[in-house]
């Protein structure tokens, strides 16, 4: 009896030992098998069915879980859809296709094959789409949004994706390419006209911006224009949309693009009478600042005809755009030219109501200066 107990104990001890050794060896064995190189990683034959089921399960579950707690903004202005459409045409349509645009054959050979979004978006709710667009998906080729600091842009894309299933090719082309009416096929061959068409998708050939969230760049000073493109391309000013656009346009063409838009007349936004009080409040802050709270007069920089050319022209700029930029500055997420930290500092001292008033005031201001110089 006694002997049996002892034997039993010994047997248990030996079993554990084998398991421990097995576990310790396992990773080395896995590396060894991979090193042998017999595992087929080619895309042509596709995944094993079980691998595919597992990956699908993992992805869907992860998107569902990580979408919990994402707060959806109040109804997003439709104006945000337009820059998202331009960005979709530039960044997404190559793989996902678009209304009236078939995909190149090589995309269909990708593993996994990117879904046609007209059909696929129904499977996700808004927060889940936001999560996918913002963070991307590993092992699929789906990239993250170029910057992680512009949720407003990502929400604009979500709003666009919701519209996408209902767009016919004509509507899509109008949204995404605008006046230039260029399709992707005639695309970017490095010529000035092609680069200009890239800008005009959202900003228009007249530089006035084709929606409320696209700023007026007509009449903007060349130095500010070029410095901003540089900041976008270097990732110093946060915008997924403009980072892609700025890196796509040939750097040598920036100056000519700047000259083109600087030479155009900026017209002021029409204001409704309901805004008069708000404009008056904004004017007070812009002219005198709020010295008590160390907020300087905006016009001390932005109102001077002889100002540093890297200080932008704000007169007649779009109200929603200005509001959004001031909010981004206040949150410390905008970035920009070498002078952007000045605005980060000052905007952080503004209250939300003051931001709205200032945006209304600058939108209402007559363009002060003649030719940009």
348 binds other proteins (CB under 8 A): no
- Angle (nearest 5°) at CA 365 between 349 and 263: 110
Q: Report the residue from 70, 297, 333, 369 that binds other proteins according to the rule CB under 8 A.
A: 297
Q: How far is the CB of 373 from other proteins (least distance, A)?
A: 13
Q: Report the residue from 97, 289, 316, 335 that binds other proteins according to the rule CB under 8 A.
A: 289
Q: How far is the CB of 269 from other proteins (least distance, A)?
A: 24
Q: Report the residue from 170, 193, 294, 331 that binds other proteins according to the rule CB under 8 A.
A: 294
Looking at 98-106, 117-125, 177-185, 339-347, which segment touches other proteins (CB under 8 A)? 339-347
What span, in angstroms and rounded, lies between the C-alpha atoms of 151 and 145?
9
Q: How far is the CB of 121 from other proteins (least distance, A)?
A: 44
7 binds other proteins (CB under 8 A): no
Q: Spell out the alpha helix ranges (H) of the chain.
A: 2-36, 49-66, 81-87, 93-96, 105-108, 117-120, 126-135, 151-163, 169-177, 192-203, 222-233, 240-248, 254-262, 276-288, 299-302, 319-330, 340-347, 352-364
Instruction: Tell me, residue by residue from 305 to 334, as one string, x for binding to other proteins by CB under 8 A and - for no binding.
Output: -xxx--x-----------------------
What span, in angstroms and rounded, lies between the C-alpha atoms of 355 and 287?
14
230 binds other proteins (CB under 8 A): no
373 binds other proteins (CB under 8 A): no
Closer residue to other proteins in complex, CB, 111/301: 301
Closest CA to 196 of 322, 206, 129, 211: 206
Q: How far is the CB of 302 from other proteins (least distance, A)?
A: 8
Q: How far is the CB of 260 from other proteins (least distance, A)?
A: 25
């Amino acid at each position: 009896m006694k002997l049996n107990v002892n034997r039993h104990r010994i047997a248990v001890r030996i079993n554990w030992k084998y398991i421990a050794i097995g576990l310790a060896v396992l990773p080395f064995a896995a590396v060894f098998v991979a090193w042998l190189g017999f595992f087929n990683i080619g895309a042509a034959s596709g995944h094993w069915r079980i691998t595919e089921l597992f990956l699908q399960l993992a992805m869907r579950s992860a998107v569902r879980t990580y979408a919990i707690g994402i707060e959806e903004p109040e109804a997003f202005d439709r104006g945000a859809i337009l820059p998202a459409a331009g960005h979709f045409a530039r960044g997404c349509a190559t793989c996902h296709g678009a209304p009236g645009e078939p995909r190149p054959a090589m995309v269909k050979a990708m593993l996994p094959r990117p879904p046609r979004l007209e059909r696929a978006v129904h499977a996700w709710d808004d927060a889940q789409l936001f999560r996918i667009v913002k963070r991307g998906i590993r092992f699929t080729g789906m990239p993250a949004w170029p910057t992680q600091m512009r949720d407003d842009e990502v929400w604009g894309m979500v709003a666009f994706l919701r519209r996408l299933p209902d767009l016919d090719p004509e509507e899509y082309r109008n949204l995404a390419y605008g006046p230039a009416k260029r399709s992707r096929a005639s695309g970017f061959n490095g010529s000035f006209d092609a680069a200009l068409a890239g800008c005009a998708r959202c900003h228009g050939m007249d530089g006035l911006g084709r929606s409320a969230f696209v700023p007026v760049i007509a009449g903007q000073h060349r130095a500010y224009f070029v410095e901003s493109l540089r900041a976008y391309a270097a990732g110093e000013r946060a915008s997924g949309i403009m980072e892609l656009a700025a890196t796509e346009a040939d750097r040598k063409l920036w100056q000519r693009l700047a000259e083109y838009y600087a030479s155009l007349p900026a017209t002021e936004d029409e204001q409704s009478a309901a805004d008069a009080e708000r404009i008056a409040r904004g004017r007070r802050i812009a002219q005198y600042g709020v010295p008590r709270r160390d907020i300087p007069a905006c016009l001390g920089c932005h109102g001077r005809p002889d100002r540093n050319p890297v200080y932008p022209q704000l007169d007649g700029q779009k109200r929603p755009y200005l509001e959004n930029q001031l909010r981004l500055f206040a949150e410390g997420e905008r970035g920009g030219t070498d002078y952007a930290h000045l605005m980060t500092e000052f905007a952080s001292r503004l209250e939300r109501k003051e931001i709205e008033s200032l945006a209304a005031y600058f939108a209402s201001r007559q363009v002060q200066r003649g030719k940009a110089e």
